[in-house]
Amino acid sequence: MQSKAKVLLAEDDASLAFVIKDNLEEEGYEVTWCADGETALQQFQKNSYDICLLDVMMPVKDGFTIAKKIRQKNDLVPILFLTARSLEQDKLEGFKSGADDYVTKPFSMKELLMRMEVFLRRTKKMHSDDNKEYRIGTLRFLYNSLKIFHGEEEFSLTQREADLLKFFCDHNNRVLKREEILLSVWGKDDYFLGRSMDVFITRLRKHFKSDPNVVLETIHGIGFRLNA
């Protein structure tokens, strides 16, 4: 069977790791299991992976630390945290460190597989749109390059900012509901992801200051609209 994708699994619970690895391999995934954060980071630096599944609490280095290190090297690879922790501050810390989503223990393998497939489909679609260029007022947005240009001025975006801006550009001058944006860009409508989205909206608005005719408008109680 041809491998669907290469998975980096960092989980210090050997029994749980065995179950996850066994089920993923049954579904055609190629899985590298690491029992601590340091080993997981070393594997990521040596090899290419399509998705990372990270336990939050691990020996040597925790999941937050690993996610930050991964994001320094790769903005695109999906990162899902496997965690028993459900506190708001923990989730927000996870998103700040670069995570795409949480799967809270105990979880079913069906749930995990569904969440993985959402993000792997998203990544594949990003690659198919690699050379897309958008005009936003007097601004030029190059999706693949993660850049906005205003004349000779150049602004760099994170991958998440670029994903969000691309969605607004694809639906220019249309009112977009918050849940619609979250489902399309993050793959899930979630309170904590919504908080994270608000941070990225603020960042995008800063990039638009060079053209006052470009406005990312808040439609109170509904969502947002990009007016350009």
Whether the pTM exceeds 0.75: the reply is no
The answer to whether 80 and 103 are in contact (CB under 8 A) is yes
Beta strand pairing status for 139-142 and 101-104?
unpaired
Q: Cα–Cα distances in Å, from 143 out to 129, 132, 158, 162, 200?
A: 8, 6, 10, 6, 16
What is the chain's pLDDT, residue by residue, as a tens digit (228 residues)? 446 799 999 999 999 999 999 999 999 999 999 999 999 999 999 999 999 999 988 888 888 999 999 988 887 788 999 887 666 667 777 787 888 888 888 888 988 998 888 888 777 666 655 567 899 999 999 988 888 998 888 888 887 888 899 999 999 999 999 999 998 888 777 787 888 889 889 989 999 998 989 999 999 999 999 998
- The residue type found at 167 is F
Collapse the DSSP code of 147 into the 3-class scheme (helix H, G, I; strand E, B; otherwise coil) and give the result: strand
Do residues 199 and 206 make contact, with C-beta atoms less than 8 angstroms apart? no
